[in-house]
Amino acid sequence: MSRAGWRIAEGFNLHASLVLRCSEPVPVASSDRITLLYSALMLEDEFPDFRERRELYRNCKHAEAAHILVIVDAAEIRRIWIWERRRPGRPSDYRESLEPERPEDLARLLRIACEDLTVSGEVESPAPAIPAAIARSLGSRWQAGVPACDRMVSGPHLREAVAGASGPNETRQLWRALSRIRIVDLSCGDGSWLLEAAAELESLYAACLGRMAGWVLDSEHVSRSGSGRHRDFRLLLARVENRSRGRPDRYIRDRVILFNLHGVAGCALDALVTRSRLTRGLAAADGNLDTPYPLPETELRIVTGETHTGREGCLPGAEDSQGNLFLARARECEEAFSIVRDLHLGGSADRRELATAYSEIRKRREALVAWYRREKSAAGGALVRLDELYLHFPELLEHARSTIIRRP
Amino acid sequence: MKAHSLPALTIIASVDEDYPSPVKMRLGREAPGRLVLSGAESLLHQPLHAIFCSLQPPADLVLSAIDRAHQLITRPAPVIGGFQSPVEKLILKILLRDGHRIIICAARKLEGMRLKSEWSDAMREGRLLLISGVERRRRTDAMLAATRNRLVAALASEISIVHAAPGGRIYRVTEAAIQWGIPVSCPMHRENEGIVLLGARPWPPGH
């Protein structure tokens, strides 16, 4: 490493690291602006799964500007390198690799990781837009004498504001605001931008659920009749428990995909990649990476189309009965989807029945879009004035204030 | 969404001539002592098609419900229901949008109730009737919902069931309706096998 221009961190002994816990990575070496962090597991620790490794990397991210994290099991057999690929104009992308055995391969891996981490230019991320969208969605209700709101809207403190909401009503409002957020990527490519948004929303949902659990616990301590308070929180927490069998991440990830994410891919391959990455994220939350196909619900959220513009004003007027008919049919599919989504998140629905329902909704929506295209081409675009995006996602019309759109 | 006041209420006592005879005949002593109506009262004296769906139907039946709603629009009979479960609400939306005639049976008293904004067009056009057999309570509970379902079934001349959970409220009302001789139909699904065995007719493919 020293030959590659890296400085070895002093006082670090590789074998002594066996006593370290996974949550305490230590710097091993550093170059100009990149630090190599090392995190070794104890004998009794299970090797962290995809989700935990990513979380660990994200936590380290706050401490260091750019870094590579190496996680090693207690027997020093399994070593995983984690870093992120930063590209100008694109969201950062989480990457990892097993440590190669041969020194030349190791050097190459180090070089690739460094190249990924050292880029110039602005890195695009949806994360900064999310607090502003939440603030817009909350509107004047939050502004009325809630000091946490100012901090929250400023962005960096959003998660802390969610976790430290000073009253149950604030938590309720935040939960609703989170459910109203609509992230729309009109050129989703490999889905990185959507995944970045999903990661941000997941942490906010988790903070909100944690605060709800806190309110329930507080109410039980404060009064004997506390068990009847915060019924909505109790129901939701029971639903999370029921749905995810002790792993709230699965519920949260499902919720983010089913409520918040909308993608339009330019080609079928991009759509497939994005759906597969979302499916993989869900599978990782289950601790099962063997799910071989994109789940049917992701097919409803990531659509293929080249004619979406997402421009405002592409809605039918009052006199445009044909456009209104299309929109009504699209809303019908959306209503059906929202019922199926609630059954899905409720946790008791049969997986095969859900898949059938999602597939049927997708087929109907595709038939509607095909019909719309036929009518539009027959009329030369004169009679039907409706953006195709709204046939896929009519809910966006009702959530304009809390929608974040990334245009091509 | 803005709610409006209900139009004038009409009360029909069980001794009145206007009181629907099937209700007395089918419910007997359980028949409500009075019915409170608001809206297009003439709908009450037509053959009615009732629709029911449980609170948590199998996911793949949601779209069957939409298809059924579209089919009901093509039929002359007004549709009656409680329209309380999510699927029933969706059916109501479709019926309201497509200009069908509807009777909503509330499981609470109508006095003090507000007219939802999405119902106001149908009310103005004379194709919506609100009805209630509840006299005292203002809030809906499970018992009132069960009583309301029996009233809906008693008023109907034909019933469509989207889903009846075995042993649930809709299952029990289906059982009663079949005993009263009302034709009942449902989509083919393993969850509906119980009511098919009771005598419900499966919807034909494509229904």
* DSSP state string for A41-59: --TTPPPP-HHHHHHHHHH
| Residues A258, A299: Cα–Cα separation, whole Å | 11
Closest-CA distance, B162 to chain A, in angstroms, reads 14
Given a cut of 90, is residue A189 above it in pLDDT? no
Task: Say yes or no for a CB contact (<8 Å) between B56 and A348.
Answer: yes
For residue A21, the model assigns a pLDDT of 47
Task: Give the count of beta carbons closer than 10 Å to the beta carbon of residue A275.
Answer: 26
Task: Give the count of beta carbons closer than 10 Å to the beta carbon of residue A134.
Answer: 25
Q: What is the mean pLDDT of residues A191-197?
A: 86
Task: Say yes or no for a CB contact (<8 Å) between A339 and B62.
Answer: yes
For residue B19, the model assigns a pLDDT of 92
Given a cut of 80, is residue A147 above it in pLDDT? no
Position A312 confidence tier, pLDDT thresholds 50, 70, 90: very low
Closest-CA distance, A349 to chain B, in angstroms, reads 7
Under 8 Å CB pairs connecting chains A and B tally to 45
Closest-CA distance, A298 to chain B, in angstroms, reads 16
Q: What is the dihedral of CA A168, A170, A176, A179, to 10 degrees?
A: -100
| Residues A334, A336: Cα–Cα separation, whole Å | 5
Position A372 confidence tier, pLDDT thresholds 50, 70, 90: confident
Which candidate from B56, B90, B97 shows the least CB-CB separation from A336?
A: B90
Closest-CA distance, A361 to chain B, in angstroms, reads 8
Contacts of residues A281-288 at CB distance under 8 Å and 24 or more positions apart, as own/partner, are A281/A195, A281/A198, A281/A253, A282/A250, A282/A253, A282/A254, A282/A257, A284/A49, A284/A50, A284/A51, A285/A51, A285/A244, A285/A247, A285/A249, A285/A250, A285/A252, A285/A253, A286/A247, A286/A250, A287/A49, A287/A247
Q: Is residue A235 within 8 angstroms of chain B, CB to CB?
A: no
Residue numbers in B near A343 (CB within 8 A): 56-57, 59, 62
Residue numbers in B near A360 (CB within 8 A): 60, 63
* Cβ within 8 Å of B, A 30-49: none
Q: Is residue A339 within 8 angstroms of chain B, CB to CB?
A: yes
More confident residue, A7 or A340: A340
Q: What ipTM was predicted for this assembly? A: 0.89
For residue A348, the model assigns a pLDDT of 78
What tokens were used for A86?
A: 């930063």
Task: Say yes or no for a CB contact (<8 Å) between B58 and A349.
Answer: yes
Contact partners, residue A272, CB within 8 Å, separation at least 6: A294
Q: What is the mean pLDDT of residues A243-263?
A: 84
Mutate to test the interface with A, among B54, B55, B61, B63 (most CBs of A within 10 A): B63
Which candidate from A332, A357, A364 shows the least CB-CB separation from B59?
A: A357
In chain A, % of residues over pLDDT 70: 73
Task: Say yes or no for a CB contact (<8 Å) between A340 and B62.
Answer: yes
Closest-CA distance, B89 to chain A, in angstroms, reads 10
Which candidate from B56, B63, B87 shows the least CB-CB separation from A361?
A: B63
Least confident interval from A63-77, A135-149, A185-199, B154-168: A135-149
CA A347 to chain centre: 20
Summarised one tens digit per residue, pLDDT across range B48-72 is 999 999 999 999 999 999 999 999 9
For residue A165, the model assigns a pLDDT of 74
Q: What is the mean pLDDT of residues A24-40?
A: 77
The answer to whether the CB of A131 falls within 8 A of the CB of A404 is no
Q: What is the mean pLDDT of residues B135-164?
A: 87
More confident residue, A105 or B103: B103
Least confident interval from A27-36, A56-65, A213-222, B31-40: A56-65
Given a cut of 90, is residue A332 above it in pLDDT? yes
Residue numbers in A near B60 (CB within 8 A): 353-354, 356-357, 360
